[in-house]
Amino acid sequence: MIRLFNKYEIEDFDKLYEYTGELGSIYSKDKTCFKIWAPLVDSVKVIFYGKDGYNYNSSKREIINMNYKNSGVWEVEIKEDLDGEFYNYIIKRDNVEVEVVDPYAKAVGVNGKRGMVINLEKTNPYGWNNHSIPKFNKAIDSIIYETHIRDFTIDSNSGVPDNIKGKFKGFYYDTSVEVNKIKTGLNHLKELGVNVIQLLPCFDYKTVDERRFNEEEYNWGYDPLNYNVPEGSYSTNPYFGEVRIKEFKELIMNLHENGFKVVMDVVFNHTADTEESNFNKILPNYYYRVNKDGSFSNGSGCGNEIASERVMVRKYILDSLKHWVNEYKIDGFRFDLMGLHDIETIKSVRKEFDENILIYGEGWKASTSPINNEDLSLKENIYIFEDLQVGVFSDDIRDAIKGSVFEEEEGAFVNGAEGYEETLKFGIVASTNHKDISFDKLSYSKIPWANEPYQVITYTSAHDNYTLWDKLALVKPSATKEERVRMNKLAAAIILTSQGIPFIHSGDEILRTKKDLNGKLIENSYKSSDYVNKFDWTRKEKYIDVFNYYKGLIRLRKEHKIFRLSTAKEINDNINFLDFEDNTKNIVAYIAHGENISDSLGKIVVIFNGNRNSVELNLNHNKFSVILDVNNINDKGIYEVNSNIIKVEPISALILRYL
C-alpha cells in the first residue's frame, strides 16, 4: 500500500498526475469510451456483465484490458452500442486484483455494486428539456423546507397509493384526487408557501438493502456509496439503472413546474466505507486525510474524512455537482459538514455555477482534522468568501431561540430563560455587523461573522437532534400544551421575520414529534422506523392553527422586503433595536423602516416576548395597526391600538404598523 502522508509529496503528486478531462463511461450509440484515473497501478481491466445488474453470482461476459494514456488515466474504447451494459473495473497492484465500481458511474445496478452504461437522453421525461425552472431575483428570497423522500409520504394518511409511498413518484403524486380533510404531499407544500425543497440525501447510499425495497428499510442516507446516481430504494424498481434516474427527473420536473427550487443534501465529507471503499481501492490513502501515525483521520465522526484539498478529489466533487446540475437540473446543494472542506474547494464550487444555484452548508465539523481551521469552510471563516453567495447555518440564532442542541434540558428565549436577548438580536440581523449589538454579550460568536445576510441560514431545527416540538417538551416538561404551542409559534415568527435565509424542518409546522413505540423521544432517527420518522398527516388536521400561522408568516415574508433585506448596509440602516428604561428581561424589540425601501408596510415595530407573563411597553407613539399577534397575521391590519402603552401577551410575537 502506498503511503502519501507528507504535504509536499502530495503537492508533487498532484502536479504530476493532474487530469482535467472527462472520466467514467462516455456513451454514444456507436461507441463507449471508458476512462478511470488510477495512478500507481500495474494494470486496469474493464469487466462486462451484460444486462445483469443484480445477480452478483452470475458469470462475467467479457474482460478487456485498458491502456495507460497519461496523468494516471487508463482507457479503452468499445465500438458498439453498450446502453444498459453493466460493468466494473479490475485494478491490479502488487500482483493483487480488486474489483471496483466506477466512481464516475452515472447508473448502477441494485445496491450499487455494478456500474451501468446508460444513454441518459432516454431517461428524460416528456417535456424535460423545456420545462419551466423557477428563478429568484436573489438568494435571500429563498424559504427552504427540508424533508426526506420516504418520510414525506409513507404515512397511511398521506393520500398516496401504497405502491409508491416513500418513493420519488409518491412525493409528487397529486393527492387532491384523494378524499382528504387537509391537503397532503406536494399540495401541502404549495399551500404552505415555501419555495425551496431541500431533499435529504438522494444519491445512492449504502445502508438500505434495495432488494428489500418493499420492506421497512430506513436510513437518512448520510453514508455515500455512488455519488452520481440516485438512490434505488426511492425508485419503483432498483434493479434497472434507468428507472431511478427517470423517476428522480420526474420528481424534479414536477417540483419545478409547481414553483419550487430543488436542493440536494450532498455528503462529500466522508464515505460509507474507508479502506474498502472504491476510492481507496483505486488509490489507497489519496482520497482520505490521514493522521501522522498513518491512521485515517475522522473529522466527520463517521470513520473518515475526504481530502477535498487534493487536486483530483476537488475535481471529483466539482464533476459530481456539475453532473447533478447539468443532467438533473438541480438548483442547489446543502453541504453536510461543509466545515470539513477546504475553503478553496468551496470557492471553486461557488464560482462554477451562476447565482441561481444555491450553495450552503454546515459551518462546522464533527471532530478534529489534520487541516488547520483557518483553511476550512467553517462558520468563523465565512467572511473569507467576501461577496460570494455561500451560506452557513446559524447555530447562534438556533440555540438562542430554544437552547443548545447538546444539552437537551437547556432552554433559551422562547422557553423563558434569560440572557439570550443579545444573541437573538445578533441572529435577527443575520450575524452581520450592526450598531445596536453588544458583541461581548453573545453566547457563541464574539464578532459579526457574516459579510452579508445571504451568507446565513436561519433556523431552529433540522433532521438531526430533537424536533422543535420535542425539544420544547424536554426543556419545559411542566409546560401546558398551549404554552408549548405558543413557544413553537414564537420560534417560527422569529425565524420567518429575521434577516438571512429561513429554513424549516419538515413537520415543524404541524408540531412534528419523533417517538418510538414506548413513547420515548428519539433525538437522531437516522435509522429508526417509519413509525418514528413518518410525516404524520393527522397532526396537520389536529394543529391546523399552527400550520396556518406558518403559512401566514411565509406569505408576510414573501410580500414584504423589510423581512429579507439584501445587504448588511440595508439592515444597519433600517433596523433599530429598542431599549426600555425598566430593563425588561426576555424582550427583544426593534423598529424596521419599510418606508425607506418602499415597502407598503412602512414603519413597523416587531416585538418578541419570551416571558411567561404579559408585558407593557411604552413605544412613544399612540396609533398602530396590529398585523401579527399570537393567533393572527394580516398585513392589511387585524385591529388598531390607540395608545403608546402596548400590551404584549405571554410567549408571543407582536408586529405593529405605525399609523
Q: Which residues are catalytic?
A: 336, 362
Count helices and strands (H / E) in the chain: 16, 27
Between β-strands 73-78 and 43-48, what pairing exists: parallel, antiparallel or unpaired? unpaired
Cα 569 to chain centroid distance, Å, stands at 28
Q: Alpha carbon of 243 to those of 89, 151, 178, 197, 450: distances in Å?
A: 23, 21, 26, 22, 43
- 500 contacts 394 by C-beta, under 8 angstroms: yes
Beta strands in 250-402 (DSSP E): 261-266, 332-335, 358-361, 391-393
- 528 contacts 522 by C-beta, under 8 angstroms: yes
Cell of 375: 483553511
Cell of 8: 509536499
Provide the 3-class DSSP secondary structure of residue 615: strand
Cβ atoms within 10 A of the Cβ of 309, count? 19
The set of residues, in sequence order, having a beta carbon less than 8 Å from that of 233 and lying 6+ positions away, is 150, 208, 210, 213, 217
Which class for 484: exposed (0-12), middle (13-18), buried (19 or more C-beta within 10 A)? buried
Cβ density class 390-418: b for 16+ within 10 Å, e for less: bbbbbbbbbbbbbbbbeeeebbbbbbbbe
Residues in a beta bridge with 89? 46, 100
Cα torsion angle, 216, 221, 226, 228, sign: positive
Which class for 523: exposed (0-12), middle (13-18), buried (19 or more C-beta within 10 A)? middle
How many CA within 13 A on the CB side of residue 379?
21
Cβ atoms within 10 A of the Cβ of 182, count? 19
Cell of 78: 468499445
Provide the 3-class DSSP secondary structure of residue 574: helix
* φ, ψ dihedrals at 525, nearest 5°: -95, 35
- DSSP designation for 47: E
The set of residues, in sequence order, having a beta carbon less than 8 Å from that of 183 and lying 6+ positions away, is 175, 176, 190, 191
* φ, ψ dihedrals at 521, nearest 5°: -75, 135
Cα 434 to chain centroid distance, Å, stands at 28
Dihedral angle of Cα 557, 560, 562, 565, to the nearest 10 degrees: 70
* φ, ψ dihedrals at 578, nearest 5°: -105, 140
- In terms of phi and psi (left: phi > 0; alpha: psi -120 to 50; beta: otherwise), the region of 474 is alpha
Strand order in the sheet with 67-68: 24-27, 32-37, 73-78, 67-68
Q: In angstroms, what is the C-alpha Rg of the chain?
A: 26
- 288 contacts 297 by C-beta, under 8 angstroms: yes
